[in-house]
A = this chain, B = another copy of it.
Amino acid sequence: MAARSVRKKPARKKPARKKPARKKPARKKPARKKPAGGKSARKKSAHADADDQARKQRDISVSEFFAKNRHLLGFDNPSKALLTTVKEGVDNSLDACEEAGILPDIRVEIEQQDESRFRVAIQDNGPGIVRAQVPRIFGRLLYGSKFHRLRQSRGQQGIGISAAGMYGLLTTGRPVKITTRTGRGREAHHFQLIIDTQKNEPRVSVDRVVKWPVQHGTRVEIELEGNYRGGQHSVDSYLRQISLANPHARIVYQPPSAPPEKGNGKARPPEEIEFPRVAKQLPPLTAEIKPHPYGVELGVLMQMFRDTKARNLRTCLQGDFARVSARIAEEICKTAEVPSSRRPRDVRRGEAERVHKAIQKTKIMSPPSDCIAPIGEDLILRALKAEVEADFYASVTRRPAVYRGNPFLVEAGLAYGGNLGLEQPITLFRYANRVPLQYQQSACAVTKAVIGTDWRSYQLQQPRGALPVGPALVMVHIASVWVPFTSESKEAIAHYPEIVKEIRLALQECGRRVATHIRKGKREADEAKKRAYIEKYIPQVAVGLEHILGLNERQRDKVVKNLTNVLEKSRKL
């Protein structure tokens, strides 16, 4: 058949063009020695039978995977890469400081080295990193302390900062530089390392003790291909937003100077920008929680039975889950008809299925909510006031709720009027665990909830299916032990109905308050207008009366005075 010969042609041509292809047949020889069953031996040209295919199977290291799919991590293009690098560094610094109970003091420096190359440095006053951990934290993807726990933190995956270092390495070939010190009595260490993407392992080139004036803290430097630009997705805007949601942090930012022109020497760097500390207290330290039994799936339950350290089923249920008391554990076992004294690893499949079903039938309290640290209504107000000059501010912190077994909490803040833009859609700031989300606004549950709220009943204009229009800034914060992001780059929150509902309730509360303010403003404006109108005509009325009743000047002035008094009084009522 003609088509079959067409298929083979390109395969034959290839060796001529690509020399290395010639070497391959040598590797395929062993396959020919084996008695390849049946017809497949006959027509083996470029086709690969089971043996050929087996020989090509290989492990893919997670670094190779993300290096090739770097857009999944937020390194799609140079300007986003620069922002993502700053973001991962600052997130880590804030997490480390807070966990150690230190008020964060963070310095971000960006230096432009040539047209498309930047050096980013992030330095904090955190607890520092012990020497042995440095290489893996910065030179290995999927390594960290935050993945295996249910606790509110900015980082979740153990990918961020090492991915930034990897992107830097891929685009500039330069290592990540880390300086860290864990306390006054200890030595400061300086590292330079790269990630070996084929093995997902760090390769350290420099590891030495250095003098560092900092008492405790960490400094990370990454060189990368980037693009520095302004606007909504800029580093400046990100730092402003993160300072808004982290009023307990002080951030100093050194923006890049324009690249030095030839023969002109070095350009003077622009001035530092300081985002001051608005609040002197750290957010409450959140608790780590156990999974709630309602959220657990059968296969996961079976795995927990296999891996638990508990001696029997009752203590396993009680110890490895949130909200399971001894009484409830017994109740579950009874409903499932499995003895509560059974060793967990001896629980058979059928029994595990019965336990799984019994859990759904048993009434168990909602997960504890002190694992969530809201920003708080006060601090949101203070942060909003520091951010924009408006006429009116409102903030709401909702009570914790639960989605898929995970506790979460929604807060909203609203600033209205003042020097905010009039005829534009409102500005929307989205946050998850105090981290601003800057991309994929339209894909986010927050945007969905804002659009789904009827702002017209709160005195704002709103085109159908769009953000409301008016002089307002809205911020929404979602805090959770596990924020369901739509991608690894953590840019948008998935549309869980429970989450969308909570956001809407918070927005409605803000909406009601701003509506009262706007109505009051309108009423006052109306009255002022009326008053001005009447005031203007009082003298005319007096002159009219003067003519009609033949009043003298004194009488006329008295009439003016009386009328003005009446007006004042009625206004005061």
Binding site for B on A (CB under 8 A): 1, 3-4, 6-11, 13-14, 17-20, 35-38, 40, 43, 45-51, 53-54, 56-62, 64-65, 68-69, 71-72, 76, 96, 99-101, 127-130, 132-133, 136-137, 140, 142-145, 147-149, 157-158, 168-174, 182-186, 197-198, 215-216, 225, 279-287, 289-290, 297-303, 307, 318-320, 322, 349, 352-353, 368, 370, 443, 482, 484, 486-488, 494
Report B-chain residues with C-beta under 8 Å of the C-beta of A482: 68
Say yes or no: B299 contacts A53, CB within 8 Å.
Answer: no
* Chain B residues closer than 8 Å to A40, beta-carbon distance: 100, 127, 183, 216
A287 to B40, CA, bound (A): 20
Contact residues in B for A47 (Cβ distance below 8 Å): 99-101, 285
- A342 vs B353: C-alpha distance in the bound complex, in angstroms? 66
One of B72, B280, B300 near A1 (C-beta < 8 A): B280
Name the CB-closest residue of B to A315: B19
Known: A57-B143, A285-B7, A287-B11. Contact between A99 and B48, CB under 8 A? Answer: yes
Contacts A69-B488, A281-B4 given: A38-B157 contact, CB under 8 Å?
no
Whole-angstrom distance between the Cβ of A378 and the nearest chain B Cβ = 10
Residues of B within 8 A of A185 (CB): 35, 37-38
Bound CA span A94–B285, Å: 53
Assess whether B170 is in contact with A300, with CB atoms less than 8 Å apart.
Answer: yes
7 contacts between A and B (CB under 8 A): A17-B368, A37-B183, A37-B184, A47-B285, A53-B127, A53-B129, A173-B353
Q: Given that A7-B284, A173-B349, A302-B173 are contacting pairs, would A60 and B144 also be in contact in the complex, using a CB cutoff of 8 Å? A: yes
Residue of A35, A40, A129 contacting most chain B CB atoms (<10 Å): A40
Query: Known contacts being A7-B284, A11-B285, A488-B69, is A170 close to B299, with CB within 8 Å?
Result: yes
Assembled-state Cα–Cα distance A186/B100 (Å): 62
- CB-based contact B11/A53 at 8 Å: no
Q: For the complex formed, measure the closest distance between the CB of A311 and the CB atoms of chain B, giving whole angstroms.
A: 14
Q: A36-B183, A173-B302 are in contact. List 19 more A-B contacts (CB 8 A).
A: A1-B280, A18-B287, A38-B183, A38-B185, A45-B101, A46-B285, A48-B100, A50-B100, A50-B182, A56-B149, A57-B136, A57-B145, A60-B142, A60-B143, A60-B144, A61-B142, A171-B299, A174-B299, A225-B297
Docked CA distance A300–B290 (Å): 42
Does A37 lie within 8 Å of B186, measured CB to CB?
yes
Residue of B nearest to A148 (CB): B58
A130 touches B182 (CB 8 A): no
